[in-house]
Amino acid sequence: MFGKILIANRGEIAIRVIRACEELGIKTVAVYSELDRDALHVKRADEAYLIGPAEAAKSYLNVDKIVEVVKESGAEAVHPGYGFLSENAAFVQRLEEEGITFIGPPASAIDSMGSKTKARDLMKKAGVPIVPGTTESVDTYEDAVRIANDEIGFPVAVKAASGGGGKGFRVALTEDKLKDAYEGASREGEKFFSDGTVYLERYLPNPRHVEVQVIADKHGNVIHLGERDCSIQRRHQKLIEEAPAPDFFMDEELRARIGKIGVDAAKAVNYVGAGTIEGMLQDGEYFFLEMNTRVQVEHCVTEAVT
């Protein structure tokens, strides 16, 4: 058990981590920018340190300063929360080099799941079902036409390899729409994620978006805490999450099968900590979509039912 941890975040997630630490008798260290000097997480933590100006790049993303505060405060570990440095493999490696524990997955898991093509390839090799499509980038429009016609069929989804949050996702219902979809997904990938590579998937017209909450220790033990239905979305961004998923489309056999897929996926990357396996459910078949290698905003939905 740690005696003191630093929370490299602010706002709601920092408060949630502080609350958990209070229950466990662990001292907490908050960090804050000049803008957040009077924020609740600063007042709630046992200690608080100023790490820079309002700009996140000069404060909450300032790795050198955060490491400096960890050492100054005597914290033994860092909890990243979500956003900021939570899925930054280089940050995790830096902490390891400094002898500081990162409360979360190893850098290798973050790196593997950070690219959707790499993640799909890894899951396919591990026997985890994925949406039919490519596991490598599709580098030219001509290749996209060939693969869509010969291997996947229409409608086809074109996705940015580093995309997320509804960005870098286009659908081509027919071949004459593929060029716009291919170029649009690539353009958004470059704009929002500095990565214009794309891949192709079979487009599932009426799926349920169901995710599995997993938690793992450093000894290879992985369990799931049930699923959340997050099918109510706007522009591919979640609006409402429900746990457990409603019975009108989820029976106990399917629930158990989806949970096992989540556990298998986490084991495939030697995961540690809390994470989420996102997947698509259609016609009784569940497919791995991606993994969020961090705590999420919606984890509290699962907390309420477990």
Catalytic machinery residues: 294
Cross-strand partners of 147: none
User: Hunting for tokens 């390899």 — which residue is that?
Assistant: 161
Token representation of residue 245: 């998923």
Which strand ranges, in their side-by-side order, compose the sheet holding 47-52? 47-52, 27-33, 4-7, 77-79, 101-102
Alpha helices (H) in 174-222, listed in sequence order:
178-193
Which residues, including other chains, have CB under 8 Å from residue 142's CB and lie 6 or more apart? none
Q: Please report, for residues 48, 95, 147, 167, 186, the alpha-carbon distance to residue 160 in angstroms, rounded to integers and kept in the order given.
A: 39, 30, 16, 8, 6
Which residues in 91-144 belong to E strands, given as ranges?
Answer: 101-102
Burial (CB < 10 A; 0-12, 13-18, 19+), residue 43, is: exposed
